[in-house]
């Protein structure tokens, strides 16, 4: 099953797309608060301080240290967060179905190389994708074009107008992919799209709902 000019290619974001990073952080925060006997409201404070993962880890740790007097290393925090990720059990099968239907599957994720690969190993998803591009080792962050081209090249492919990008960030994932000429699926996570921005090609409430939209581009994905 091929598109004009190459094998069908789907690129996925990692955090809050293939994995529910926000839920993992909530689990970590709740355990952290409980272990230290802190007021329950501190869980919400930690979530705000985390900024949905966009706060640099060193800055988050500095805020935790100032507020609670707790000393951790960045590496320890990252390991604890990875341990709290609970992958959707349906996801490996959905990725395998897509690949069986003739697609190449890549991950393009911003973040630290060791941490992002640890997430893929912990969830078992590393075995169900063809390639991974992490911003730290690529030397560019999404929405930079290099992230998308690197993901494609590592699949042995090139970007085309039939390449799909699936992600939750309107700027890094959707606007970046649109600038690269890709088709886009936005994971809304309960949010409304900003009508002032060019819309994605499709919207899915969660990652499992994105797969039928991708499969429809070249025919149904086997079940």
Nearest C-alpha neighbor of 122 from the set 180, 72, 80, 71: 80
* C-alpha–C-alpha distance, residues 142 and 135, integer Å: 7
Which pLDDT score, from 0 to 100, does residue 217 have? 56
Q: Are 135 and 109 in contact (CB under 8 A)?
A: yes
The string of pLDDT tens digits covering residues 25-70 is: 999 999 999 999 999 999 999 999 999 999 999 999 999 999 999 8
Instruction: Give the residue extent of every domain in the chain.
Output: 2-19+89-215, 21-83
First to last CA, the chain: 16
SS3 label, residue 31? helix
Q: Could you tell me which residues are beta bridge partners of residue 8?
A: 103
Give me the residue label for tokens 């991950």.
Answer: 107
Q: In whole angstroms, what is the distance from residue 80 CA to residue 220 CA?
A: 39
Question: Which DSSP category does 125 fall into?
Answer: G
Placement of tokens 């025919």 in the chain: 219
Per-residue pLDDT reduced to its tens digit, 2-26: 443 456 999 999 999 999 999 999 9
2-19+89-215 topology per CATH: Rossmann fold (3.40.50)
Total Cβ atoms within 10 A of residue 12: 28
Tell me what pLDDT residue 215 has: 67
pLDDT of residue 221: 39
State residue 222's pLDDT score. Answer: 37
Cβ-contact 166, 17 below 8 angstroms = yes
Distance CA 90, CA 79 (A): 24
What would the pLDDT profile of 155-200 be if each residue is shown by its tens digit?
999 999 999 999 999 999 999 999 999 999 999 999 999 999 999 9
Q: Is 186 left (phi over 0), alpha (psi -120 to 50) or beta?
A: beta
Say what the pLDDT of residue 216 is: 72
Q: Which of 1-5, 79-83, 214-218 has the lowest mean pLDDT?
A: 1-5
Backbone angles phi, psi at 161, to 5 degrees: -70, -5
pLDDT digits (tens, 9 = 90+) for 119-165: 999 999 999 999 999 999 999 999 999 999 999 999 999 999 999 99
CA distance 122 to 85: 8
Contact 74, 105 (CB under 8 A): no
Which has the minimum average pLDDT: 36-40, 107-111, 115-119, 218-222?
218-222
Structure tokens at 159: 């970007």
Res. 78: pLDDT tops 50: yes
Residue 75 bridge partners (DSSP): none
């Amino acid at each position: 099953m091929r598109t004009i000019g190459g094998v069908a290619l789907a690129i996925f974001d990692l955090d809050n797309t293939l994995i529910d990073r926000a839920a993992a952080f909530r689990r970590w925060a709740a355990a952290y608060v409980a272990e230290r006997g802190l007021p329950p409201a501190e869980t919400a404070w930690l979530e705000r301080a985390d900024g949905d993962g966009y706060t640099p880890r060193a800055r988050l740790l500095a805020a935790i240290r100032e507020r609670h007097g707790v000393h951790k290393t960045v590496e320890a925090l990252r390991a604890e967060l990875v341990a709290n990720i609970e992958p959707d059990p349906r996801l490996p099968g959905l990725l395998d179905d897509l690949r069986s239907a003739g697609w190449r599957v890549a991950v393009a994720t911003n973040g630290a190389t060791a941490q992002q690969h640890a997430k893929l190993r912990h969830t078992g998803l590393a075995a169900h994708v063809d390639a991974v591009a992490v911003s730290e080792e690529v030397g560019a962050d999404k929405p930079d074009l290099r992230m998308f081209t690197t993901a494609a090249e590592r699949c042995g492919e090139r970007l085309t107008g039939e390449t799909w990008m699936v992600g939750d960030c309107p700027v890094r994932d959707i606007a970046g992919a649109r600038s690269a000429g890709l088709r886009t699926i936005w994971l809304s996570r309960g949010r409304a799209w900003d009508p002032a921005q060019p819309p994605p090609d499709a919207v899915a409430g969660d990652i499992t709902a994105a797969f039928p939209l991708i499969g429809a581009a070249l025919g149904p994905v086997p079940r």
